[in-house]
Amino acid sequence: MRKYFKLLKIAVYLGVLLPPTILLKKLKFPGYKVWPHWVHKSMCLALDIRVKTFGHALEGSPTLFVSNHISYLDIIILGHVIKGCFIAKRDMIDWPVLGYLSTLQRTIFIDREKRSEVTMQSQEIQDRIKGGDSLILFPEGTTSNGGIVLPFKSSLFGVTENYIHPKADVEGRPLELMVQPVTVVYRRINCMPTNRSNRPSVAWYGDMEIGPHFKDFLKLQNIEVEIHFHEPVSRNLFKTRKELSAYCHRTIEKQMEERLRRTVD
């Protein structure tokens, strides 16, 4: 019964929030970028996902949020607490519900296999940043089991290449991209601390199929997720994208290890 009740809540929330979100986006009504944030928040409520935040997401200037990646659930969780656009793989657009919600949040879909599209995708990213949008990046390039942070692909930090040195925009203002590492930690499942045996019920990785995994997830009573916002840093502090990638990985991994260690203790 629990999973059907959750599905009913999802249908009700989407039925109420999607129509105005779609309309406001189409009309580009002032403040329309905030509406997907409320849609993702409603999905967390419907799925009994309790989100605890530590620190604050940087607002007021274009920011690249860099996060570890554990599950498709990360999309609605981070979409709830961060007002920004995701940078995601092209195949995500075909995901049921989540794919459509991502388009509403103006996700930038990239296909690293098609070199012919790299320049166009890079230009879109630069235009978004110059237009004041913040971006959310998963530099692992895939999902982990929730107990570790996989190596970051420094090539994905290429979106910051134009911000190594201060520049000026058309109005003479200096361009500076801020980077904020974010650690996602799944702490509790059904009010019990996460561990190696129960973590796969929320972590989606390897060759797991999303349909069966989501059906099993719906049977859970609740989950508790921590989002840790670390100190934002300027892209200009790092000479290369490899240095930036290493810094973000080190910061995120240290926080995850500390929180999971406390769970065990």
pLDDT in tens, 105-134: 788 887 766 655 566 777 788 888 888 889
pLDDT mean over 226-242:
94
Q: pLDDT tens-digit profile of 210-233?
A: 999 999 999 999 999 999 999 999
What backbone phi and psi angles, to 5 degrees, belong to 43?
-65, -35
Q: pLDDT tens-digit profile of 21-67?
A: 778 777 777 767 777 888 889 999 999 999 999 999 998 888 999 99
pLDDT at 173 over 70: no
Within a 10 A sphere around the Cβ of 140, how many other Cβ atoms?
20
- Higher-pLDDT residue of 1 and 142 is 142
Q: Which domains does the chain have, with CATH numbers?
A: 48-264 (3.40.1130)
Q: Please choose, from the candidates 145, 160, 181, 135, the residue with its C-alpha nearest in 3D space to the C-alpha of residue 69.
A: 145
> Which pTM value belongs to this model?
0.89
